[in-house]
Copies of this chain bind each other. A is one copy, B any other.
């Protein structure tokens, strides 16, 4: 139960960040290094999920991958 709340919080936390970046296009404080590493890492988590056949790992990381990719795209476009 705590694990589910934890997964929801860490996954959905990227919603306000993605929303803020889309709305303001302000990415000055955001680290390019962080989101580059993070997007690659989350993609590997997704592959790991497929390997261990864990749909929670696949699902949570698929959502995070989309959100973090949006943030990374805006960071590259409006740095």
Number of copies of chain A assembled together: 2
Q: Are B6 and A34 in contact (CB under 8 A)?
A: no
Pairwise interchain contact B29-A16, C-beta atoms closer than 8 A:
no
Contact flags A39-68 to B (C-beta < 8 A → 1, else 0): 011101101100110000000000000000
Would B10 and A41 count as touching, CB distance under 8 A?
Answer: yes
Contacts A2-B48, A6-B48, A48-B2 given; does A41 touch B13 at CB 8 Å? yes
Q: Give chain A's interface secondary structure class.
A: helix
Which residue on B lies nearest to A75, using beta carbons? B29
- Size of A's binding interface in residues, CB under 8 A: 40
Give, as a whole number of angstroms, the nearest-CB distance from A68 to chain B. Answer: 9
